[in-house]
Amino acid sequence: MTLPPDADLHLTEQALRSVTLAQALERADTAHTLVSTVEWDEATQQALAAARARGVQAVGLGDVVCARAERIVERASARDATVAALRLPRGRALAWALPAAALLAGLVLDRIANAHRVDLLSPPLLAVLAWNLAVYALLLWQALRRPGGPPALLQALPAVLRRWRAPAGRGTRRGLSARIAAEFEALWLARTAALLARRAAAVLHLCAAAWAAGIALSLLLRGLVVSYRFGWESTFLDAAQVHAIVSVLFAPLTVLLGLAPFSVQDIAATQDFAGQGVAGSRWVGMYVGLLLLAVVLPRLLLAAWALWRAARSARRCTLDLGDGSFEALHQALPVDWVLGLLGVGAAQVRALGGGPAAGGGLHSALGDRLRWALPDAAASTPVDAVLVCDAAHADPVPAAWQAAPRLACPWAAWGASWMLEERLFERLAALWPQHGPALQRLRQARVAQNEACFAQALQALARCLRACAAAPQDDGGAAGARALQALDAELRALHGRTPPAEGGAAGEGAGAPRPARPAGGVALAVGTSAGAAAGAAAGAKVGALIDLGTGGLTLGAGTALGALLGGATAWMVRSAQQKDAAQEQLWQCAEQACTHYLVIAHEARVLPADAAPLARRWRAEVTATVAAHGAALAAALQQPPGAQDALLPVLESMLRGMVQRSVAGAAGPVENEAENAAEAHG
């Protein structure tokens, strides 16, 4: 079974942007104003086709989510400028503008403490150094502790954006654009919080480096036109204490670059800003070097590290496919189930639409599949569920099937007729409620297939009845027999049944003497006279040949039902010889045609134990139904066939009623006790 993967999907930032924007469209545009429902379905179908073209066998969310989103976003972008703008990355210009503004701010500073002097104990300089040292300590602490989530500000932004909706103009395009933008920003911030945090850190590091570089450039450039007075002044500190502070302050320069440190005499000589002239360049150089070494270079390295991590994250963004955001898309994806059957044989599996060896099963237009498996043919193949169709004659459960859920659903309750098959999907829907849409698609496809087959069968029956009605009265029923032979062949080809052997029910049984039809017309007593018995024997021969041709897989059901066909054929030809032959021939042709349909459509579905009781029900049903609709049949046959044949609704009502009363009605509801017992055993 194809299940939604719980693992994360890794994709590029642009692909994640398209997926997020498509989700924002789906959530905000609930009326499908920008992208219609048909276009959403088409995008899903195209993504599925592309995945299969790549050789993907079991299509999952990760195989289609990006391609589908790209098609949706393309359509919406052509119709809304806001969506088109959201497709493109934003904020890059701002990321470069902020460091440039910080550099300019540092350049336009006229002074650190005074425009014409350099203060060894400048509070602004000490504040810049202290702030950066505090930042380095904080970064070191974060690197040493266990990694946490994104910053609190980034965590709060998605909730704020979700609450931000324009109250006015919700029905307008402008209001829709605002809702799409707000939904996108909320989703985008939630999914890229780590990426945005790294990019924000890089920008902040660049701003700090630019600020310090601007201050250093300001000192150097101002020195071209200003003669600095340098030194220090203090009420509480003496020269020795200031020398100690300056030694620690400029230690990185003296240790790493080997510059000569300031002596106590140098410090004492500059008290009260007594230093001036060319010697001030040494002090300015020490200031600039300290800013470069302690602020600019570390910040540039940190910015480069953050940008590298952000670039790596942008190439491998993470999308959580199991967070429930893609439930609608998951419901639209095809599934592939294998259902193990216990208590039925290969003939019943073929009647359902093929077996696993032939790759058969039920299919939907979207690609959903429901395949069947039997214990002897697929004992080593794991299945998604085990269906116990006959607990009394069920085979042992193979080892490969032991882990699958098991449920009971008697064959007579869903497999004995095509009209009952919807009950199977009801049982499976209770087993797999999370895959309701896929089961619904399979159910609709199966119903459409059965209805199309039934419509073709009605057309064949209508042609047979019209051929019988148009046959001359003096041909001894030969034309009717030929029409029934043609009907038999057409129905068997339509339902994939084995053609009868030469001299079968419509042929060999047709020449035997038959008794007259009972006047009351309430029961078709096949086999109650010598003629009918001969016809039944001929039909049984056909059924036996069917059993033999299928290797005995029908286990005698073909013989019982074949006898019904042979007896009905014998009845028709004999009754055509009585008075009021035209009406009798029409009635008997209708009885035989309906009998052919019932037998051939259900031949492989009927279990051996149910064959004889079902044949008795059909005898009564066919005769009573034809008698009740005799006038409607005669009236419909008087009208010429056209685009809307009046005979088809009459035949449809007759056959549906017969199947529902004899097969569907007899099946009854599924026994809860049997279900519970089998499911508890599983």
Q: Is residue 247 part of a domain?
A: yes
- pLDDT of amino acid 522: 28
Q: Tell the burial category of 4 from Cβ atoms under 10 Å away from its Cβ (0-12, 13-18, 19+).
A: middle
Per-residue pLDDT tens digits for 128-138: 888 998 999 98
- Give just the sign of the alpha carbon dihedral 163, 169, 171, 175: negative
- pLDDT of amino acid 574: 45
User: Do residues 584 and 466 share a domain?
Assistant: yes
Q: Is residue 183 part of a domain?
A: no
Q: What is the CA radius of gyration of the chain?
A: 44
Q: Is residue 614 part of a domain?
A: yes
User: Do residues 410 and 486 share a domain?
Assistant: no
Q: Is residue 329 part of a domain?
A: no
- pLDDT of amino acid 330: 80
Of 445, 470, 485, the last residue of a domain is: 445
Q: Which two tokens stand for residue 91?
A: 């904020």
Q: Is residue 470 part of a domain?
A: yes
Task: State the CB neighbour count (10 A cutoff) for residue 596.
Answer: 27
- pLDDT of amino acid 160: 56
Q: Is residue 296 part of a domain?
A: yes
- pLDDT of amino acid 469: 85
User: Do residues 368 and 266 share a domain?
Assistant: no
Most confident of the ranges 360-364, 464-468, 516-520, 612-616 = 464-468
Asked if residue 560 has pLDDT above 60, the reply is no
Per-residue pLDDT tens digits for 236-280: 777 788 778 777 777 777 777 777 777 777 777 777 666 555 566
Distance (Å) of CA 150 to CA 157, 206, 679: 11, 20, 48
User: Do residues 629 and 505 share a domain?
Assistant: yes
- pLDDT of amino acid 620: 87
CA–CA distance, 623 with 520 (Å, rounded to integer): 10
- pLDDT of amino acid 514: 29
- pLDDT of amino acid 378: 64
Asked if residue 674 has pLDDT above 70, the reply is no
With cut-offs at 50, 70 and 90, classify the pLDDT of residue 70. very high
Mean pLDDT confidence for 322-333? 79
Amino acid at 562: G
Task: State the CB neighbour count (10 A cutoff) for residue 126.
Answer: 14
- pLDDT of amino acid 512: 28
Per-residue pLDDT tens digits for 652-666: 999 999 998 887 665
Distance (Å) of CA 599 to CA 166, 342, 659: 67, 24, 11
Asked if residue 22 has pLDDT above 80, the reply is yes
| Averaged pLDDT score across all residues of the chain | 76
Mean pLDDT confidence for 555-583? 51
Asked if residue 571 has pLDDT above 60, the reply is no
User: Do residues 271 and 415 share a domain?
Assistant: no
Q: What total of structural domains would you count in the chain?
A: 3
- pLDDT of amino acid 117: 64
- pLDDT of amino acid 18: 93
Backbone angles phi, psi at 409, to 5 degrees: -155, 95
User: Do residues 155 and 233 share a domain?
Assistant: yes
Q: Is residue 420 part of a domain?
A: yes
Per-residue pLDDT tens digits for 582-626: 677 788 888 989 998 998 888 888 877 778 888 888 888 898 999
Residues paired with residue 342 on neighbouring β-strands, in sequence order: 388
- pLDDT of amino acid 669: 54
By the 8 A CB rule, do 187 and 158 touch? yes
CA–CA distance, 516 with 507 (Å, rounded to integer): 19
With cut-offs at 50, 70 and 90, classify the pLDDT of residue 462. very high
CA–CA distance, 362 with 462 (Å, rounded to integer): 29
Q: Is residue 66 part of a domain?
A: no
Domain that holds residue 427: 335-445
By the 8 A CB rule, do 341 and 349 touch? yes
Cα–chain center distance at 305: 40
CA–CA distance, 177 with 362 (Å, rounded to integer): 43
By the 8 A CB rule, do 622 and 658 touch? yes
User: Do residues 537 and 409 share a domain?
Assistant: no
Share of residues in the chain with pLDDT > 70 (%): 72
- pLDDT of amino acid 540: 43
User: Do residues 405 and 339 share a domain?
Assistant: yes
DSSP 361-385: SEE-TT--EEEEE-TTTSTTS--SE
Q: pTM higher than 0.85 for the full model? A: no
Mean pLDDT confidence for 508-522? 31
Q: Which two tokens stand for residue 483?
A: 């029409």
- pLDDT of amino acid 92: 80
User: Do residues 412 and 435 share a domain?
Assistant: yes
Asked if residue 567 has pLDDT above 60, the reply is no
Asked if residue 155 has pLDDT above 70, the reply is no
Per-residue pLDDT tens digits for 291-309: 888 899 999 999 999 999 9
More confident residue, 52 or 422: 422
Of 396, 415, 445, the last residue of a domain is: 445
User: Do residues 228 and 298 share a domain?
Assistant: yes
> Alpha helices, DSSP H only, in 415-529?
422-431, 436-470, 478-495
- pLDDT of amino acid 579: 39
By the 8 A CB rule, do 303 and 95 touch? no
Range 367-398 burial, b when 16+ CB lie within 10 A, else e: bbbbbbbbbeebbeebbbbbbbbbeeebeebb
Mean pLDDT confidence for 307-331? 84
Of 412, 445, 478, the last residue of a domain is: 445
User: Do residues 271 and 137 share a domain?
Assistant: yes
User: Do residues 410 and 311 share a domain?
Assistant: no
Asked if residue 529 has pLDDT above 70, the reply is no
Mean pLDDT confidence for 160-170? 48
With cut-offs at 50, 70 and 90, classify the pLDDT of residue 444. very high
Query: What count of Cα atoms within 13 Å lies in the side-chain half-sphere of residue 583?
Result: 11
DSSP annotation of 607 reads -
Mean pLDDT confidence for 393-414? 85
